């Protein structure tokens, strides 16, 4: 799924940083609740946000 995500997503570096983060978290097995710290800043051209992905202790 990671290569497919990179192929179909747009943005800086084809969103490879997002792919690596989601892969590290377990992709679709991640069940944490993400906390968005900032609103979407669309002026970046890639629709970026700042978010916290909690991990189990």
How does pLDDT run across 8-51, given as a tens digit for each residue?
A: 665 555 566 777 888 889 999 999 999 999 888 766 566 678 88
The residue among 49, 37, 2 whose CA lies nearest residue 21 is 2
Q: What is the DSSP string of 1-39?
A: -HHHHHHH--SGGGGHHHHHHHHHHTGGG--PPPEE-S-
What is the reported pLDDT for 34?
93
Please tell me which residue, 7 or 39, carries the higher pLDDT value: 39
pLDDT band with cut points at 50, 70 and 90 for residue 4: low
- In the DSSP assignment, the letter for residue 40 is -
- Model pTM? 0.59
What is the reported pLDDT for 52?
93
- Please state, in angstroms and rounded to a whole number, the distance separating the CA atoms of residues 54 and 13: 25
Other beta carbons less than 10 A from residue 33's beta carbon: 7
């Amino acid at each position: 799924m990671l290569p497919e995500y990179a192929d179909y997503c747009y943005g800086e570096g084809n969103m490879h940083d997002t792919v690596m983060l989601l892969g590290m978290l377990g992709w679709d097995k991640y069940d944490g609740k993400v906390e968005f710290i900032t609103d979407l800043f669309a002026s970046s051209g890639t629709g970026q946000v700042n978010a916290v992905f909690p991990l189990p202790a």
